[in-house]
Amino acid sequence: MNQIQAAEKQEVVSRVEDGLGIFDILIVFAKHKKMIIGVTFSSALLAAGISLVLPNVYQATTKLLPPQQNQSTAMAVLSQLGGVAGAAAGAAGLKNPNDLYVGMLKSRTVADRLVEQFELKKAYDTNSEELARQVLEANTTITSGKDNLITISVEDKDQKRVAAMANAYVSELLRLTKVLAVTEASQRRMFYERQLETTKDNLAKAEALLKSNLDTHGVISVDAESRAILETVGRLKAQISAKEIELSSQRAFVTPSNPSYRRTEEELSSLRAELSRLENGRGGNSSAADQQGGLKNVKVLRDVKYQQMLYELLAKQYEVARIDEAKDASVIQVLDPAIEPERRAKPKRTLIVLMSALIAAFGAVAVAFLIEARKKALASPQGNAQWAELKSYMQFRTRR
C-alpha cells in the first residue's frame, strides 16, 4: 500500500512540475462542474431579480443645427458704407460656435431654469438646489459631433417628462441668445447701443446749454467768416470722433499693424492736425470774437450740430445691427425635436443577466483552479511546508 501511495504521490508531483495540459483543464472543469454551473446559474438568477426591481429609465434626444458663420446681408451693406460701419463689418466671428452653444446649454442658468420648470427637486427627492442640478447634469449628455450638429440627450424615469425636458433645453438656448451677445451682430448692436446712449446724453447737455445762452444773451448775429470757421471746426470734431469710434471698434479684432487700422490712424492724425491749425491759427480773432455773446451762441450751436450729426450716424448703424441681430436670432434650427420614447433605455436586463452570469462563471472557474492548485502544491513536501508557513503568517495573534 505504501508503495502505491508513494507512486501516486510521485505522479502528482511530476504532473505539477510538467504543468497543466488540456486533459488537466478538462478534469478540473468536470470535477467542479456542479460548483461552476451552480454559481453561474445562481448569479444569473439573482441578476435577473435585481434587474426586474430596477426602475425603467427613458431617453429622449433632440438635434440642433447651430448658426453658421456666413457673412450676412447687413454686414455686406455695412462694408460698403465705410467709416465706423465698415470697421464693424470686418469684425471676426467665432471660430467654433458649437462649443459656445454647448457651453451655454451646460450652464448653471439653464439647469436652474429646468429644475424650477419641471420641479426636479421633488422628482429627485431632494431639497437641495445644487444636488438637483448635479443629478440633472448626470442625466444629460450634450455633445457636438463632426456633422456640425449639437445633440441633447436626457434620461429620466418619467416617460412623458423626458421629452419635454430635452425640448426645454432648446427653448432656454433660444431665450439666452436673445439676451446675450453671442453673435457678431449682437456684439455690434451692443457696441453701437453704448455709443448711442453716450451721444444722446451729450446732445441733451448741449441743447440745454444752448437754451441757457439764448435766454441769457439772446440772438446776436456774427460775421460770416467767424461762423464758417466755427462750423468747419465743428465738422472736423465730428469726423475726429467718428474715427476714434472706428479705431475703438477695430481694436477688438485686428492688430495695430493691420493696414486698415493704420490707415484709420493716419486719417485721424490728419484731421487732428487740420483742427489744430484752425484753432491755433486764428487765436487773436477768436479771442476778439469770444467777447461777443453771439459768437458764444454759435459755439454752443456748433456743439449741438456736432452731437446731432454723430447721433444720426450711430443711430443708422445701430438700426442695421438690430436688423442683422434679428436675422441671426432665428438661425438656430431644431433638426430633430425630442419625442416621447416608446421603449426604455435602461435597465438592459438581458445584458445585465448575461454579464453577471459570465463574470460568475469566470470567478467559479478561477476558484476551481485555485482549489486544484492548492491540492497539488500540498502533494509535495516543499509545498506543504510553504502552505504551513503562509498559514502561520495569516493568523492574527493577540499580544498579552
Backbone angles phi, psi at 61, to 5 degrees: -135, 140
Q: With beta carbons less than 8 A apart as the criterion, state whether 64 and 337 touch.
A: no
Q: With beta carbons less than 8 A apart as the criterion, state whether 150 and 66 touch.
A: yes
The string of pLDDT tens digits covering residues 58-106 is 999 999 987 665 444 444 444 444 444 444 444 434 456 678 888 889 9
Query: Region 147-155: what's the mean pLDDT?
Result: 90
* Cell representation of residue 347: 435597465
Angle between helices 108-117 and 129-138 (to 10 degrees): 100
Residue 183: count of CB within 10 angstroms of its CB: 23
Q: With beta carbons less than 8 A apart as the criterion, state whether 236 and 308 touch.
A: no
Q: Is residue 237 exposed (0-12), middle (13-18) or buried (19+ Cβ within 10 Å)?
A: buried
Is residue 62 within a helix (H) or strand (E), and if so which, with residue range? Answer: strand 58-65
Q: Residue 285 carries which side chain, given as an amino acid letter?
A: N
* Cell representation of residue 160: 412623458
DSSP state of 80: T
Closest-CA residue to 263 (of 23, 25, 50, 87): 87
- Report pLDDT for 72: 45
Q: Which residues touch 157 (CB under 8 Å, ≥6 apart)?
A: 55, 56, 57, 58, 123
The string of pLDDT tens digits covering residues 108-144 is 999 999 999 999 999 888 899 999 999 999 999 999 8
